[in-house]
C-alpha cells in the first residue's frame, strides 16, 4: 500500500466528552502508519468535549479542532470538516464508535484501486433496536422510491471520499445539505467495505425520532420533486371523487327523490377527505418554499467560535 498521501479524519462531535478518549484509543493505532490529520468539529457542545479535545491536541499536533458558536447540526459539522481538510482523501466517522475504525485501511485500499467514494456498509445491525432498524429501512426505501438518484442503504456518513469529491462538495452553494445524497448524486466511482455495527459506547443518541423525521424530510425534498407531483395526483384524485359525488347526488335527486335523504355522514366524510388532501398538499409545497426561502437568505451555514491547530 502506497502511504505517500495525507489522510484526513473528520469527526463531528456534540456532547461526546466521554467518547473522545475511547475513540482515539482505537483510531490512532489504525491511522498512525499514515500521514494523517484528525479534525474534530465541535457542534456547539454544552459539556467538556472541546476541553478534552484540546488536551489531546497538546499531546498530538495531528489532532485539530473547529468549534461552532452553537449547534448547527451534524451535516453542517461535516461540511465544515470538508472545508478545512487538506487531505488527499477524507474519512468521516462519528465519535460514538458504532462504526468500526479498524476498517479504515480497507477503505484506503479500495480508494487506491480507483474508487473515488468508499462506503462503509453495515452488514449487521443487531445492536440497533427493532424500531431503529425498521425506520432506517423505511427511510431508504422511501427516499430511493421518490428520488431520481439512488442512495446506498445502510451506509450512514462513515465513508471515504477523494480530494476531487471534497472539492466538488466545497464548491456547492446549497443551504440545505444532505451529504449522503450529494455524494451519491456526484456519480464518482464508488466501492464498499463491510463492517458490523457496534453498540454506542457511552451517552445517548443525538438522533431521536423528531430529528430522524426532520432528516428524512430534508433528504426527500433535497433530491426529488416527486412529492410535488404526488400532491398534484392527490388533488386530481380528490377532484375526481368530488365530481363523481356530484353526479351521484344529481342522479339520485332526479330519479329516486322519495328515497333520497340528505345525511350529515357524506358531508362530514367529504369535508374531512378534501380538507386532509388540501393540508397535505399545502404542507408539501411549504417544504419546498421553505428551501427557496433559506437559499435566498444565503446565511452562513455555521459560525465558528475558534479553531485550534488549523
Residue ranges covered by each domain of the chain: 6-222+300-308, 226-297
Region of 240 on the Ramachandran plot (φ > 0 left; ψ -120 to 50 alpha; else beta): alpha
Q: What is the pTM of this model?
A: 0.75
pLDDT of residue 27: 93
pLDDT tens readout for residues 115-153: 999 999 887 656 566 666 666 667 667 766 766 677 777
**CB neighbour list of residue 286: distance below 8 Å, 6 or more residues apart:** none
pLDDT tens readout for residues 226-282: 777 777 777 777 767 766 766 766 676 677 666 655 665 566 566 767 777 777 777
pLDDT tens readout for residues 217-237: 776 666 666 777 777 777 777
Task: Just give the CATH number of 6-222+300-308.
Answer: 3.90.550.10
pLDDT of residue 182: 85
**C-alpha count within 13 angstroms, C-beta hemisphere, residue 43:** 22
- With cell 485500499, the residue in question is 109
Residue 3's SS3 state is coil
Amino acid at each position: 500500500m502506497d502511504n505517500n498521501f495525507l489522510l484526513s479524519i473528520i469527526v463531528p462531535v456534540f456532547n461526546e466528552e466521554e467518547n473522545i478518549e475511547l475513540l482515539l484509543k482505537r483510531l490512532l493505532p489504525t491511522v498512525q502508519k499514515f500521514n494523517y490529520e484528525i479534525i474534530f468539529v465541535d457542534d456547539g457542545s454544552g459539556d467538556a468535549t472541546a476541553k478534552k479535545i484540546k488536551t489531546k491536541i497538546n499531546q498530538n499536533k495531528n489532532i485539530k479542532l473547529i468549534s461552532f458558536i452553537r449547534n448547527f447540526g451534524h451535516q453542517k459539522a461535516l461540511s465544515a470538516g470538508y472545508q478545512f481538510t487538506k487531505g488527499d482523501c477524507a474519512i468521516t466517522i462519528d465519535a460514538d464508535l458504532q462504526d468500526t475504525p479498524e476498517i479504515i485501511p480497507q477503505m484506503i485500499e479500495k480508494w487506491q484501486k480507483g474508487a473515488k467514494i468508499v462506503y462503509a456498509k453495515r452488514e449487521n445491525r443487531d445492536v440497533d433496536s427493532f424500531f431503529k432498524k425498521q425506520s432506517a429501512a423505511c427511510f431508504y426505501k422511501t427516499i430511493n422510491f421518490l428520488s431520481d438518484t439512488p442512495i446506498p442503504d445502510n451506509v450512514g456518513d462513515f465513508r471515504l471520499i477523494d480530494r476531487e469529491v471534497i472539492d466538488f462538495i466545497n464548491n456547492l452553494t446549497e443551504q440545505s445539505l444532505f451529504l449522503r445524497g450529494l455524494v451519491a448524486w456526484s456519480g464518482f466511482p464508488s466501492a464498499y467495505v463491510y463492517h458490523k455495527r457496534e453498540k454506542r459506547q457511552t451517552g445517548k443518541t443525538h438522533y431521536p425520532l423528531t430529528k430522524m423525521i426532520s432528516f428524512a424530510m430534508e433528504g426527500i425534498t433535497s433530491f426529488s420533486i416527486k412529492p410535488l407531483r404526488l400532491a398534484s395526483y392527490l388533488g386530481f384524485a380528490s377532484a375526481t371523487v368530488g365530481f363523481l359525488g356530484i353526479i351521484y347526488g344529481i342522479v339520485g335527486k332526479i330519479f329516486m327523490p322519495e328515497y333520497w335523504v340528505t345525511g350529515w355522514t357524506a358531508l362530514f366524510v367529504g369535508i374531512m377527505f378534501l380538507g386532509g388532501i388540501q393540508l397535505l398538499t399545502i404542507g408539501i409545497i411549504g417544504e419546498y418554499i421553505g428551501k427557496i426561502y433559506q437559499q435566498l437568505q444565503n446565511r452562513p451555514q455555521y459560525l465558528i467560535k475558534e479553531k485550534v491547530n488549523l
